[in-house]
Chain A
Amino acid sequence: METPDQAVLRRTPFHPQHLAAGAKMVPFAGYSMPIQYPAGIIQEHLHTRSHAGLFDVSHMGQIDVRGPAACAWLESLTTADLAGLASGRQTYALLPNSAGGIIDDLMIQRLGDDFHVVCNASRLADVMAQLAAHAPTGDCTYALREDLALLALQGPLAETVLQPLADVAGMRFLDVRSLDAGGLPLRISRSGYTGEDGFEISLPVASAAAFADRLLAHSDVRWTGLGARDTLRLEAGMCLYGNDIDETTTPVSASIGWAIGAARRAGGARAGGFPGAAVILGEFSAPPARVRVGLLPEGRAPQRAGTKILAADGREVGVITSGNHSPSLGKPVAMGYVERSVKLSGEALHIESRGQKVPVAIATMPFVPTRYRR
């Protein structure tokens, strides 16, 4: 299903395969992307939790940062402890603005002295602008790799499916390897955005479709669209940029303070030294007024982003930033920001939905236990 106005959208190397698989294509961050296939979001979601889902995430930005000064330059822009990141490992990191807000959230991989950064498609222009505004002066270069595609293979059978093609069995969660699959160079990390075990596979655009076909030849692998990607990450309690974090939210308020490496915090070996550091580090000792929490609305109706959270006296104390039906739990789940005092007091909260009061409880995330291979 393709509409004429999608003709101007960019296409990933897997576009013909999506159409052949019967995908519903939607515009997303300038790309034509599959939101779902004929099985539907719920079946795709459950298949990823029980078998293995294959996701085209080639719209995401992939940036190489190389040279002896790469580590120091990236540390000057991000919250991660990259000097302490071993070769062959990956870390989650934030790219903060000068006010402590989040320009983007990143995965940063290290192989030797070289780094590979994966950023959100919707934020690529802003990420590149931030890099350019603080362009490296020392012995370091960076380059957007538009010649690379990106696949995510997620689910309990991911290793079984991938091992015949590339030797991934010895990898642990957040390991990164440069591997050869019959002459095809792959950069594989054991990571993902679903809460399941799985892999993210960066590979040359020219060979990408053929490699996807080899994965799909396995009967346990199915294409899985952006719709299921969103419900999977919501169950895993992970932030979606633009919904749950943005340039106005700070890391501690977003409950992702763990993305600031210990060495980069107050008292650490290389404390601060990134944009917004004073604000961000200050929130560890003087907590922000609002914090991101998991939310369980009563009843069956999905409660979605933008819905206000109210206290018993009707006072507005928060807002839902992501919410949907949880296919794994068969009930609605959500996340959002509430006043920290409300989180601490445990007072009763509700939302107004179509004229009715729906109780909503603060809940621990993830909603579905993660199953990483640590």
Chain B
Amino acid sequence: MNHPDNLLYTDTHEWVRVEQDGTVVVGITDHAQDALGDVVFLQLPDVGRKVARTESLAVIESVKSASDIHSPVSGTVTAINPPVADQPELINKDPYGSWMFVIKPDNAAELDTLMKASAYSSSLG
């Protein structure tokens, strides 16, 4: 399973990329897409929505099941990626290219709670 070193990870299987401007880009991990199987639906949050850390703000559905996607930090949604919602199968093909939303964190210190790639990989056992 592929978990790039330049990303951070949640225990609910989101990946997080911290941008130069301090915003964070969020998607789901290779492990998550593999566990879900064929993704057929993605519901994205509205831009401007305020979220708490670990709050569910998007829904992903595969042929097998439905899952929530959680915010890795408290903050505000500043962008979403509608092309991925239009073609949710992209999430299976390219989980790290298929970002879902961008959050402007309220408190950058919350990023310290996220896992590095090595820790995430070992958490999967």
CA distance A48 to B59 in the complex (A): 29
As a 0/1 sequence over residues 310 to 329 of chain A, the CB contacts with chain B under 8 angstroms (1 = contact) are: 00000000000000110100
- Residues of B contacting A327 in the complex (Cβ-Cβ under 8 angstroms): 38, 63
Report the separation of the CA atoms of residues A324 and B63 in the bound assembly, to the nearest whole angstrom: 6
B4 contacts partner chain A, Cβ-Cβ < 8 Å: no
**Minimum CB distance partner of A304 in chain B:** B66
| Known contacts A227-B64, A231-B63, A301-B61; is-contact A325 B37 (Cβ 8 Å) | no
Contact yes or no, B41 A302, CB < 8 A: yes
Minimum distance in angstroms from A53 CB to a CB of chain B: 15
1/0 per residue A26-66: CB within 8 Å of B?
00000000011000111100000000000000000000000
Does A354 sit at the interface, judged by CB under 8 A? Answer: yes
B20-64: which have CB < 8 Å to A? 37-38, 40-41, 43, 59, 61, 63-64
Q: Judge whether A300 is part of the interface by a CB distance below 8 angstroms.
A: yes
Query: How near does chain B come to A199, taking the closest CB pair, in angstroms?
Result: 25
Are A36 and B41 touching (Cβ within 8 A)?
Answer: no
Q: Which residues of B sit under 8 angstroms from A42, Cβ to Cβ?
A: 38, 40, 63
* Beta-carbon nearest neighbor of B65 in chain A: A304
**CA–CA, A294 and B77, complex, Å:** 38
Given contacts A227-B64, A354-B59, contact A41 B41 (CB under 8 A): no
With A40-B37, A41-B37, A42-B38 as known contacts, state yes or no: A35 contacts B64, CB within 8 Å.
yes
Q: Which residues of A contact B37 (CB under 8 A)?
A: 36, 40-41, 227
Inter-chain contacts of A301 with B (CB < 8 A): 41, 43, 59, 61
Most buried by A among B41, B59, B92: B41
B63 pairs with A41, CB closer than 8 A: yes
Complex contact A300–B41 (CB within 8 A): yes
CB distance from B16 to the nearest CB of A (A): 24
| Given A41-B64, A227-B63; A300-B92 close (CB under 8 Å) | no
**A41 with B43: CB separation less than 8 A:** no
The answer to whether residues A354 and B43 also contact, given A40-B38, A40-B92, A41-B37 and a CB cut-off of 8 A, is yes
Q: Mark A245-263, 1 if CB is under 8 A from B, else 0.
A: 0000000000000000000
Binary per-residue interface labels of chain B (76-118) against chain A in the complex, 1 for a CB within 8 Å, 0 otherwise = 0000000000000000100000000000000000000000000
In angstroms, how far is the closest chain A Cβ from the Cβ of B75?
A: 22
- Please report the C-alpha to C-alpha distance between residue A35 and residue B36 in the assembled complex, in whole angstroms: 12
Bitwise, A200-238 to B at CB < 8 A (1) or not (0) is: 000000000000000000000000000100010000000
Name the CB-closest residue of A to B92: A40
Taking a contact as CB atoms closer than 8 A, the residue among A41, A304, A354 that contacts B38 in the complex is A41
Q: How far is the CA of A301 from the CA of B88 in the complex (A)?
A: 11
Bound-state CA distance A35–B63 (Å) is 11
Contact B43 A302 (CB under 8 A): no
CB contacts (< 8 Å) of A302 on chain B: these are 40-41, 61, 63, 66
- B66, A325: Cβ atoms closer than 8 Å: no
A226 to B37, CA, bound (A): 13
Chain B nearest Cβ from A342, distance in angstroms: 26
Q: How far is the CB of B84 from chain A (nearest CB, A)?
A: 13
Which residues of chain A have C-beta atoms less than 8 A from B66's C-beta? Answer: 302, 304
B residues in contact with A325, CB < 8 Å: 38, 40-41, 61, 63
Which residues from chain B contact A300 at a C-beta distance below 8 Å? 40-41
How far does the Cβ of B36 sit from chain A's closest Cβ, in whole Å? 10
Q: How many Å lie between the Cα of A325 and that of B89 in the bound state?
A: 13
- Nearest CB in chain B: distance from A300 CB, A: 5
Question: How far does the alpha carbon of A354 sit from the alpha carbon of B43 in the complex, in Å?
Answer: 10
* Other A-B pairs, 14, CB within 8 Å; known A302-B40, A325-B61: A36-B37, A36-B64, A40-B37, A40-B38, A41-B37, A41-B63, A300-B41, A301-B41, A301-B59, A302-B41, A302-B61, A325-B40, A325-B41, A327-B63
Nearest 6 interchain pairs by C-beta:
A325-B40, A42-B38, A41-B63, A301-B41, A40-B38, A300-B41
Point out residues on A near B: beta carbons under 8 Å: 35-36, 40-43, 227, 231, 300-302, 304, 324-325, 327, 354
Listed by A's residue number, 7 A-B pairs whose Cβ atoms lie within 8 Å are A43-B38, A227-B64, A231-B63, A301-B61, A302-B40, A325-B41, A327-B38
